[in-house]
């Protein structure tokens, strides 16, 4: 088997590596997707540029130069039909003008895609990043009905500042076999987004197990190692015990680096290799990525840099986030907060999954991806306000229900556009000291 290239696992060769048939097939599929996405608009443009539709080869039915050129090509499979059509299309049609001639929303999407392809106009990286964030906020990422976008995963990599990861590094973790957290992982993976047909059709349980097991190995390697017991004679050990002050001699393990050091590694400040809920948090990364290596790089970075407090043994970051949901709701909607508190409904009872998974537990998955575009652009801490925004949208139902716990047991389907718009409005009402706590609560 060919050695994987140190890229995002797409199999795209470097400048000195000959292109393999698999690479050419991948490139043809990418080109095919581009042609199919703009074919109808290209036909409309050609008809407009030729009055009456008399000059286009595919309208007149007369074999033109493109048809003759296509006839001399060697036969390919049916899956390459769109690629052969693309090769026969005049060069001017490769600019995909359809998205630029559409509505204002289409123009904004085109600007975001062009930005990712061509880069910012300014040489200042800070200004370029601000421009990219504004484009994410002002327009949704161009995606199909399933939430799939050809460039979303690269947008996330840019926003989170994650460099490419060699595929061999990921394979090395896979080849290490089962991690100490493997049994816990297997107990959760089979029910990950079990009712979501989009996720089940695209992501296999095997890939989810591999990724979580690889992350568990990375977290295992990063844990502080207990000091081993020094190799010394029994006489030397007895001398140390005799010469040790009584307060320390009562705990001889602290002298020789035994059980005390082992207990230190079990403190809440130490990250766990796996906690329940990491499987749901990992799911959107696997769904949106084009390879497991991309998903691994994103997920590992996210749980270790953006929200390490969420995966500690005590999940102290999640509990801090739940208290912040109550405090923010009191400021933004005091009547709603008072009503929920009077019923004994604090965020700990209904918002734990939403805080831990950044709302990935609430379908539909395409809307989760749009919400994550916003969170990765402006900070995952804004998920606290996104939960508050969902409560505000449910306000009338909550007030009308004598038992709001039944309503809050499962949130209504996500509407990312409405939630983001409401979050942008209510963020102005949050005091600076409380907002600072939101930023650091998951660290």
How far does CA 221 lie from the centroid of its chain? Answer: 23
What share of the chain in percent tops pLDDT 90?
55
DSSP-based three-state secondary structure for 288? helix
Q: How far apart are CA 346 and CA 84, in angstroms?
A: 60
pLDDT digits 0-9 by tens, 115-155: 888 888 878 888 889 999 999 998 889 999 999 998 999 99
The closest alpha carbon to 112, from 146, 71, 65, 159, belongs to 159
Strand partners, 71: none
Q: Which two tokens stand for residue 69?
A: 């050129």
Q: Which two tokens stand for residue 267?
A: 């403190």
* DSSP-derived secondary structure letter, 382: G
pLDDT digits 0-9 by tens, 3-41: 444 444 444 444 454 555 555 555 545 454 444 444 444
Question: Residue 292: in which H helix or E strand, if any?
Answer: helix 292-301
pLDDT of 328: 97
**Any idea of the CA torsion for 107, 109, 115, 120, to the nearest 10 degrees?**
70
Q: How far apart are CA 353 and CA 283, in angstroms?
A: 14
Q: Which two tokens stand for residue 236?
A: 């030397």
pLDDT digits 0-9 by tens, 295-347: 999 999 999 999 999 998 789 999 999 999 999 999 999 999 999 999 999 99
Sequence-ordered alpha helix ranges (H) in 50-80: 57-60, 65-71
Given a cut of 90, whether residue 239 has pLDDT beyond it is no
Among left, alpha and beta (phi > 0; psi -120 to 50; other), residue 98 is alpha
pLDDT, mean of residues 410-418? 94
pLDDT of 312: 86
Q: How far apart are CA 350 and CA 86, in angstroms?
A: 52
pLDDT range class, residue 104, cuts 50, 70, 90: very low
pLDDT of 381: 96
Q: Tokens 């390919």 — which residue?
A: 76
DSSP-based three-state secondary structure for 312? strand
pLDDT of 107: 43
Strand partners, 271: 312
Q: Are 407 and 401 in contact (CB under 8 A)?
A: yes
pLDDT of 110: 58
Q: Are 11 and 26 in contact (CB under 8 A)?
A: yes
Cis amide bond preceding 364, omega within 30? yes
Q: How far apart are CA 392 and CA 423, in angstroms?
A: 10
Strand partners, 312: 271
256 phi/psi in degrees, rounded to 5: -105, 10
Given a cut of 70, whether residue 211 has pLDDT beyond it is yes
pLDDT, mean of residues 381-408? 93
Question: Considering the chain, what is the average pLDDT of its residues?
Answer: 75
Find the farthest-apart pair of alpha carbons in the chain and give their distance in angstroms, rounded: 105
pLDDT, mean of residues 193-206? 94
Q: Is the pTM of this model over 0.85?
A: no
* DSSP-derived secondary structure letter, 357: T
DSSP-based three-state secondary structure for 181? coil
Q: How far apart are CA 323 and CA 346, in angstroms?
A: 8
């Amino acid at each position: 088997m060919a050695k994987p290239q140190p890229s995002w696992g797409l199999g795209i060769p470097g400048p000195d590596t000959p292109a393999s048939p698999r690479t050419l097939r991948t490139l043809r599929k990418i080109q095919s997707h581009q042609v199919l996405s703009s074919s109808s608009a290209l036909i409309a443009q050609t008809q407009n540029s030729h009055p009456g539709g008399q000059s286009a080869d595919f309208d007149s039915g007369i074999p033109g130069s493109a048809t003759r050129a296509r006839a001399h090509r060697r036969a390919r499979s049916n899956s390459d039909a769109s690629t052969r059509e693309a090769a026969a299309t005049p060069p001017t049609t490769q600019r995909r003008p359809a998205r630029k001639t559409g509505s204002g929303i289409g123009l904004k999407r085109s600007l975001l895609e062009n930005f990712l392809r061509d880069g910012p106009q300014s040489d200042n990286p800070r200004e370029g990043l601000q421009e990219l964030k504004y484009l994410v906020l002002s327009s949704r990422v161009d995606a199909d009905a399933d939430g799939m976008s050809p460039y979303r995963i690269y947008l996330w990599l840019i926003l989170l500042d994650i460099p490419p990861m060699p595929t061999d590094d990921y394979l090395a973790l896979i080849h290490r076999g089962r991690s100490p957290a493997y049994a816990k992982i297997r107990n959760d993976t089979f029910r990950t987004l079990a009712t979501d047909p989009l996720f089940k059709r695209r992501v296999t349980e095997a890939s989810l197990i591999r990724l979580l097991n690889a992350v568990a190995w990375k977290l295992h390697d990063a844990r502080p190692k207990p000091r081993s017991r020094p190799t010394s004679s029994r006489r030397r050990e007895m001398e140390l015990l005799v010469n040790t002050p009584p307060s320390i001699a009562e705990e001889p393990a602290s002298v020789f680096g035994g059980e005390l050091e082992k207990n230190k590694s079990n403190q809440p400040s130490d990250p766990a290799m796996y906690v329940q809920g990491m499987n749901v948090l990992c799911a959107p990364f696997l769904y949106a990525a084009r390879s497991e290596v991309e998903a691994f790089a994103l997920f590992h970075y996210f749980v270790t840099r953006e929200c390490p407090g969420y995966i500690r043994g005590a999940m102290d970051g999640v509990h801090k986030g739940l208290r912040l949901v109550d405090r923010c709701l009191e400021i933004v909607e005091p009547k709603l907060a008072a009503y929920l508190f009077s019923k004994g409904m604090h965020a700990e009872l209904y918002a734990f999954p939403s805080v831990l998974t950044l709302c990935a537990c609430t379908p539909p998955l395409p809307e989760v991806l749009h919400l994550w575009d916003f969170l990765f652009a402006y900070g995952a801490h804004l998920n606290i306000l996104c939960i508050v925004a969902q409560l505000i949208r449910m306000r009338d139902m909550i007030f009308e229900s004598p038992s709001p716990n039944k309503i809050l047991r499962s949130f209504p389907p996500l509407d990312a556009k409405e939630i983001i718009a409401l979050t942008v409005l209510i963020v102005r009402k949050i005091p600076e000291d409380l907002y600072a706590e939101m930023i650091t609560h998951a660290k």
